[in-house]
């Protein structure tokens, strides 16, 4: 039996994993089934993929000897896996809309992975309205991070509508090429960046207490070296930053990248500023609705890639990965002013960073992130002041249309990590001309979380009215993927026609 | 906030609950949708039931202060519950047969309940072939046992095809009548009987170590008083009796009670003997197939109700609940001989019991069950010699046809407890003229567990050939509910017609 030692950072992800905060990441992909496809398209796909019971790395890696028995666990590389356990066929109840898909994904992402097996699950979900189906993937962060997982998943998709019989992602051998060679490696998600950063600094440490000690030392050094930078530890306490429970809620939104580019150009800001304004506007309205809007501005932590002041001009691989803290201007009532204030805060943060050397950027990053990592490792997360209120990541994706058995991939929605102290995560994933928003959070901390997605949709409408030129076009396919029943007149009318009595009508059907 | 102290036995169930062996029980009910019902019958039912967000006891009871913080936890009685969390709408992928239903139920029963909420979940499952739907209920054993749960569930069903708008089970106030008044209370499942037995003996004990001590004392006393009875601690070690993992597999079978009555009469045995022969025959073949058939006979623990020698003739409530150990005669190759040996072993066990006084029966029961309970409480279960190899319970159910919104209930399949040391549970539940078999087990201990259900079906065929008179008729509706794909020519042919290639065809599709 071949084995492979987990590095310390992956071990750390494993050790902060708890039943209420499992360290699992994933993605939800939707596909348009070809018009001439047989009615059992999904069943055929499931049958074909089930035929591949030999999994390649990392999909065949299982933790050896249980999760708590060893602070330095190892992966076993299995010759065969129980493919019918890992790969599942699911379905949506009628009408099979985005509401039902969000409800099912919420449940699937709430269940912890079984750490006695290779820690991943994949579902083909049939019954999605509009002759579509979905693919949901869930992976433990110690096995692979979300960005790398998406990259491996994408390799199982084809750039040609005519290609058939491509093996599923778990049956494709790993590439030999280096991590740095892919463009995605330049713009990792928050957790991946933290892993790389802390991992590089702690390669020689072999115990978790040593890991915590080195973090504290780094934090002390980094703070003394960055006194002048005014580290932005000014996030207010909020419902987004407490302890969390196990159940999750998930909602999505899909927009057109080219429309967002045009809106950003018209407003004189970056696309990231526009995305942050969508999030800030939605959060302001949502928190106000539940009576929990802090009287100071919420802040967002955003992973960014910057070129150090001492970096080579042409060396893209020399970029440093760090975080900026943006002010979400949630105390501001006017969306145009909010956009302006957000853009100012990101510009100032990036401006400070650009003057720093590579080493100084690392110091800054550790100073920023170490308290959060420390609080996670020590079990204090969600009981202390937050470093920032919410993570907003914008990840680039494949530019080309992708297909599986001739079915075009419509969108990629990330389902990221939620931890104690970070009850909400908003990740946006690019693909072709789309931007797929995934809102994931703790169901108890954030009641009716799906309203945040709905208000994000309304924020986009507002930005269109402010900066649209009438020729930017709507989103490529669907405007809003998460709509509470009360907002949707069509559904409400349908409900009224029904004769079965109910004591309280018009409840949202995504709350499951 | 009203609170209610958990009794010691319910506390014990809570404390032996682990992620790999959650103490959850449930049931799977299937219903025939009326032919003239609208296409959205299930959606209307879900909408109507979702309107009931006020839950009655015990469905509104939540554990106070987390599960491990207190050895004497309390229930909080909530005024309102998050009904959209507890009551869910699910669907089966095509073709929506018993295979797909078994796969979904396996998954649903594998996920642990969230103990920060009232510990129950109910799913309406649409997409079941033959214009049917299913209802799956999962409850933590500390909240309610399976028998009582089924009784409460049945109260939400109607005996009339014409009754409509009956509230769901969680919205029906508890009855005032005593436990003893219902006939089901006379024939409880194993765990309920243990709870009652140990509960009565330990009412004054207030700590778990005291609980373990009293069990040990009872065991010592009981053994000294029953030396002559030859307690049947002769179960061989087997794959059925080790430590278990979290994932479950579930399979069902449905038979006609009147056919089983006729077969039993023809063979000169009881229905229980016939059921045990079906189980013994299936287990012999399954264990032989996986190369794990012990060279000594497997034994089954069966909860029974007996009239003590000193009991009143007409006082049904005076019956004592205890267990007999039946020999499953799994070393015997001939089914007719196996039936004879099983019937002899149950007759002898009951004969011994009938001569005992009520007090002696209690002594015997404690002597029999205390080692198992002790091993569970001490965490040693699955690491010691089993008391018996498998639990087989036969529970009576409602005799009348039951309906929900005009849809006739077709069958009730129990999904019982699996624990360390008891990796398989077979429970049979009566309803109208049906006997619903539920086979639930640990997916890892018992690979392709659904084969046990298939072999049970073949055992029934064999018994029909041996004892049927040609006029007993087949099962009321469906013969076998769990069929691996390789056994079913229709499905196999359908798979062959497909063009999507697969490396290995004919795999069972219930293995998820």
- pLDDT given at position B223: 54
Peptide bond into B47 cis (omega under 30): no
Q: Express each pLDDT in B84-94 by its tens digit.
A: 999 999 999 99
Region of poorest pLDDT, from A254-263, A440-449, B356-365? B356-365
Q: Active-site residue B89, yes or no?
A: no
Any idea of the CA torsion for A139, A144, A149, A155, to the nearest 10 degrees?
-120
Cβ count within 10 A of residue B227 = 9
pLDDT grade for A20, boundaries at 50, 70 and 90: confident
Closest CA to B490 of B106, B95, B91: B95
How many angstroms separate the Cα of B507 from the Cα of each of A409, B196, B248, B503? Answer: 28, 44, 19, 11
Contacting residues for A86 by C-beta, under 8 A, at least 6 apart? A55, A59, A117, A118, A120, A121, A122, A170
Tokens 């003997």 belong to residue? B273
pLDDT, mean of residues B57-69 = 76
Shortest CB distance from B507 goes to which of A84, A111, A444?
A84
Which chain A residue has the Cα nearest residue B19?
A19
DSSP structure class, residue A35:
T
Of B503, B504, B505, B506, which to mutate for an interface test with A (greatest number of A Cβ within 10 Å)?
A: B503
Rounded Cα gap, residues A211 and A310, in angstroms = 29
3-state helix, strand, coil in chain B (%, to 5): 40, 20, 40
Rounded Cα gap, residues A165 and B498, in angstroms = 13
Shortest CB distance from A111 goes to which of B42, B51, B111?
B111
Q: Express each pLDDT in A22-35 by its tens digit.
A: 888 899 999 999 99
Rounded Cα gap, residues B99 and B252, in angstroms = 9
d(CA B185, nearest CA chain A) in Å: 33
- E strand or H helix that includes residue B460: helix B450-467
How many angstroms separate the Cα of A88 from the Cα of each of B90, B92, B244, B449, B486? Answer: 15, 12, 22, 18, 19
B421 touches chain A (CB under 8 A): no
Residues pairing with B139 in the sheet: B25, B120
A165 touches chain B (CB under 8 A): yes
- pLDDT given at position A181: 39
Any idea of the CA torsion for A10, A14, A16, A22, to the nearest 10 degrees?
120
Rounded Cα gap, residues B87 and A280, in angstroms = 33
3-class state of residue B171 by DSSP: helix
Cβ count within 10 A of residue B134 = 25
Sign of CA dihedral A93, A97, A102, A103: negative
Note the ipTM here: 0.80
Q: Between chains, do A507 and B45 touch, taking CB under 8 Å as contact?
A: no
Using a CB-CB distance cutoff of 8 angstroms, which residues of chain A are in contact with residue B40? 94, 498
Region of poorest pLDDT, from A119-123, A382-386, B88-92, B172-176? A382-386
Does residue B204 surpass a pLDDT of 60?
no
Does residue A187 surpass a pLDDT of 60?
no
- pLDDT given at position B456: 98
- pLDDT given at position B356: 76
- E strand or H helix that includes residue B181: none
pLDDT, mean of residues A174-200 = 51
Shortest CB distance from B91 goes to which of A88, A127, A165?
A127
Shortest CB distance from A52 goes to which of B82, B90, B503?
B503
A499 touches chain B (CB under 8 A): yes
Q: What are the strands, taking DSSP E only, across A74-147?
A: 74-77, 87-91, 120-128, 132-140
- pLDDT given at position B179: 45
pLDDT, mean of residues B383-403 = 89
Region of poorest pLDDT, from A182-186, A369-373, B275-279? A182-186
* CB contacts < 8 A (A, B): 145
pLDDT grade for B217, boundaries at 50, 70 and 90: low
Tokens 């008179």 belong to residue? B469
Closest CA to A121 of A134, A108, A133: A108
Does residue A509 surpass a pLDDT of 50?
no
B181 touches chain A (CB under 8 A): no
- pLDDT given at position A491: 34
d(CA B420, nearest CA chain A) in Å: 16
Rounded Cα gap, residues A156 and A59, in angstroms = 13
Does residue A366 surpass a pLDDT of 80?
no
Shortest CB distance from B84 goes to which of A43, A127, A511?
A511
Does residue B184 surpass a pLDDT of 70?
no
- State both tokens at A430: 């690019």
Q: Between chains, do A40 and B94 touch, taking CB under 8 Å as contact?
A: yes
Q: Which phi and psi angles does A297 have, rounded to 5°?
A: -65, 135
d(CA B83, nearest CA chain A) in Å: 8
Does residue B500 surpass a pLDDT of 50?
no
pLDDT, mean of residues B174-195 = 50
Rounded Cα gap, residues B118 and B61, in angstroms = 5
d(CA A445, nearest CA chain B) in Å: 13
**In which order are the strands placed within the sheet that holds A132-140?**
A403-404, A407-415, A24-32, A132-140, A120-128, A87-91, B87-91, B120-128, B132-140, B24-32, B407-415, B403-404
Rounded Cα gap, residues B469 and B472, in angstroms = 6
Restricting to A residues 261-300, those with a Cβ less than 8 Å away from any Cβ of B are none
pLDDT grade for A348, boundaries at 50, 70 and 90: confident
Contacting residues for A202 by C-beta, under 8 A, at least 6 apart? A8, A9, A210, A211, A214, A215
Residues pairing with A50 in the sheet: none
- pLDDT given at position B352: 79
pLDDT, mean of residues B63-67 = 67
Does residue B490 surpass a pLDDT of 90?
no
- E strand or H helix that includes residue B97: none
Region of poorest pLDDT, from A99-108, A200-209, B357-366? A200-209
Helices (H), A397-485: 450-467
- pLDDT given at position B52: 94
* Residues A416/A438, Cβ–Cβ less than 8 Å: yes
- E strand or H helix that includes residue B408: strand B407-415
Q: Between chains, do B94 and A43 touch, taking CB under 8 Å as contact?
A: yes
A116 touches chain B (CB under 8 A): yes
Q: Identify the structural domains of chain B with CATH numbers, from first to last.
A: 2-175 (3.30.559.10), 190-403+414-487 (3.30.559.30)
The more confidently predicted of residues A407 and A377 is A407
Q: Between chains, do B511 and A246 touch, taking CB under 8 Å as contact?
A: no
Residues pairing with B508 in the sheet: none
pLDDT grade for B355, boundaries at 50, 70 and 90: confident
* Residues B34/B224, Cβ–Cβ less than 8 Å: no
DSSP B238-266: -GGGS---S-EEEEEEEEEHHHHHHHHHH
How many angstroms separate the Cα of A430 from the Cα of each of A67, A397, B218, B243? Answer: 34, 5, 67, 45
Rounded Cα gap, residues B409 and B433, in angstroms = 12
- E strand or H helix that includes residue B125: strand B120-128
Tokens 């069903």 belong to residue? B157
Using a CB-CB distance cutoff of 8 angstroms, which residues of chain A are in contact with residue B106? none
Which chain B residue has the Cα nearest residue A84?
B512
Q: Which residues of A are catalytic?
A: 141
- pLDDT given at position A511: 34
Using a CB-CB distance cutoff of 8 angstroms, which residues of chain A are in contact with residue B118? none
Does residue B288 surpass a pLDDT of 70?
yes
Q: Express each pLDDT in B464-485 by its tens digit.
A: 999 998 654 444 444 444 433 3
Among residues B109, B123, B140, B141, the one annotated as catalytic is B141
Q: What are the strands, taking DSSP E only, across A259-352?
A: 299-306, 320-327
Rounded Cα gap, residues B356 and B228, in angstroms = 12
Region of poorest pLDDT, from A378-387, B297-306, B499-508? B499-508
d(CA B397, nearest CA chain A) in Å: 29
Restricting to A residues 236-255, those with a Cβ less than 8 Å away from any Cβ of B are 245-247
CA A240 to chain centroid, in Å, comes to: 16
A220 touches chain B (CB under 8 A): no
* Residues A263/A328, Cβ–Cβ less than 8 Å: no
B37 touches chain A (CB under 8 A): no
pLDDT, mean of residues A426-453 = 96
- pLDDT given at position A230: 38
Q: Between chains, do B165 and A505 touch, taking CB under 8 Å as contact?
A: no
Does residue B158 surpass a pLDDT of 70?
yes
Shortest CB distance from A512 goes to which of B19, B84, B94?
B84
3-class state of residue B372 by DSSP: helix
d(CA B221, nearest CA chain A) in Å: 39
Region of poorest pLDDT, from A271-285, B222-236, B315-329? B222-236
pLDDT, mean of residues B161-184 = 75
- pLDDT given at position B499: 32
Using a CB-CB distance cutoff of 8 angstroms, which residues of chain A are in contact with residue B85? 247, 443, 511-512
Shortest CB distance from B84 goes to which of A42, A46, A507?
A507
- State both tokens at B398: 């409602």
When the pLDDT of each residue in chain A is averaged and rounded to a whole number, the result is 80
Q: Which phi and psi angles does A417 have, rounded to 5°?
A: -80, 140
- E strand or H helix that includes residue B10: helix B8-15
Q: Between chains, do A495 and B47 touch, taking CB under 8 Å as contact?
A: yes
d(CA A404, nearest CA chain B) in Å: 12
B131: alpha, beta or left? (left if phi > 0; alpha if psi -120 to 50) = left
Rounded Cα gap, residues A273 and A264, in angstroms = 8
Q: Between chains, do B44 and A500 touch, taking CB under 8 Å as contact?
A: yes
Contacting residues for B200 by C-beta, under 8 A, at least 6 apart? none
- pLDDT given at position A233: 52
Largest CA distance in chain B: 71
Shortest CB distance from A512 goes to which of B53, B85, B443?
B85
Using a CB-CB distance cutoff of 8 angstroms, which residues of chain B are in contact with residue A104? 90
Contacting residues for A18 by C-beta, under 8 A, at least 6 apart? none
Rounded Cα gap, residues B229 and B214, in angstroms = 22
* Burial of A351 per CB tally in 10 Å (0-12, 13-18, 19+): exposed
- State both tokens at B206: 């207030």
3-state helix, strand, coil in chain A (%, to 5): 40, 20, 40
Size (chain B), residues: 512
- E strand or H helix that includes residue B61: strand B61-63
A56 touches chain B (CB under 8 A): no
- pLDDT given at position A318: 56
d(CA A186, nearest CA chain B) in Å: 37
- pLDDT given at position B226: 44
Q: Between chains, do A48 and B512 touch, taking CB under 8 Å as contact?
A: no
- pLDDT given at position B166: 95
When the pLDDT of each residue in chain B is averaged and rounded to a whole number, the result is 80
Which chain A residue has the Cα nearest residue B91?
A93
A497 touches chain B (CB under 8 A): no
């Amino acid at each position: 039996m071949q084995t492979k030692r987990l590095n310390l950072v992956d071990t750390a992800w494993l050790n902060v994993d708890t039943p209420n905060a499992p360290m699992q990441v994933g993605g939800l992909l939707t596909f348009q089934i070809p018009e001439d496809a047989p009615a059992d398209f999904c069943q055929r796909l499931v049958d074909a993929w089930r035929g591949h019971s030999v999994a390649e790395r990392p999909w065949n890696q299982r933790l050896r000897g249980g999760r708590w028995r060893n602070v330095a666990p190892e992966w076993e590389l299995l010759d065969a896996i129980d493919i019918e356990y890992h790969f599942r066929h699911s379905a949506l109840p009628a009408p099979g809309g985005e509401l039902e898909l969000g409800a099912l994904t919420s449940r699937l992402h709430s269940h912890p992975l079984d750490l006695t097996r290779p820690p991943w699950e994949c579902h083909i979900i049939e019954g999605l309205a509009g002759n579509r189906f979905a693919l949901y993937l869930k992976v433990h962060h110690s096995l692979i991070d979300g960005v790398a997982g998406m990259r491996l998943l994408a390799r199982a998709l084809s750039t040609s509508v005519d290609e058939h019989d491509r093996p599923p992602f778990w049956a494709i051998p790993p590439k030999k090429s280096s991590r740095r060679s892919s463009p995605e490696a330049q713009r990792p998600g928050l957790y991946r960046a933290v892993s790389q950063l802390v991992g590089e600094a702690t390669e020689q440490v072999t115990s978790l207490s040593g890991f915590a000690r080195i973090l504290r030392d780094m934090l002390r050094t980094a703070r003394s070296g960055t006194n002048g930078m005014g580290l932005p530890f000014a996030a207010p306490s909020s419902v987004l930053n407490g302890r969390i429970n196990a159940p999750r809620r998930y909602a999505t939104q899909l927009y057109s990248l080219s429309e967002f580019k045009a809106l950003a150009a018209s407003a004189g800001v970056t696309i990231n500023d526009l995305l942050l304004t969508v999030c800030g506007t939605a959060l302001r309205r949502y928190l106000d609705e539940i009576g929990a809007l802090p009287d100071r501005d919420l802040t967002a932590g955003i992973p960014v890639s910057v070129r150090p002041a001492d970096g080579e001009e042409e060396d893209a691989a020399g970029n440093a990965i760090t975080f900026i803290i943006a002010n979400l201007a949630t105390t501001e009532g006017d969306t145009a002013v909010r956009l302006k204030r957000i853009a100012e805060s990101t510009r100032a943060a990036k401006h400070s960073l650009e003057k720093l050397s590579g080493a100084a950027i690392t110091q800054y990053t550790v100073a920023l992130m170490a308290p959060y990592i420390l609080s996670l490792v020590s079990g204090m997360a969600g009981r202390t002041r937050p470093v920032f209120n919410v993570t907003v990541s914008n990840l680039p994706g494949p530019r080309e249309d992708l297909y599986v058995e001739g079915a075009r991939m419509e969108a990629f929605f990330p389902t990221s990590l939620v931890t104690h102290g970070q009850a909400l995560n908003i990740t946006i994933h690019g693909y072709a001309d789309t931007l797929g928003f995934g809102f994931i959070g703790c169901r108890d901390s954030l009641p009716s979380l799906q309203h945040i997605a709905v208000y994000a949709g309304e924020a986009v409408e507002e930005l269109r009215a402010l900066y649209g030129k009438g020729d930017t076009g709507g989103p490529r396919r669907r405007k809003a993927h998460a709509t509470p029943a009360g907002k949707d007149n069509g559904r409400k009318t349908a409900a009224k026609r029904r004769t079965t009595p109910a004591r309280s009508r018009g409840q949202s059907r995504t709350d499951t």
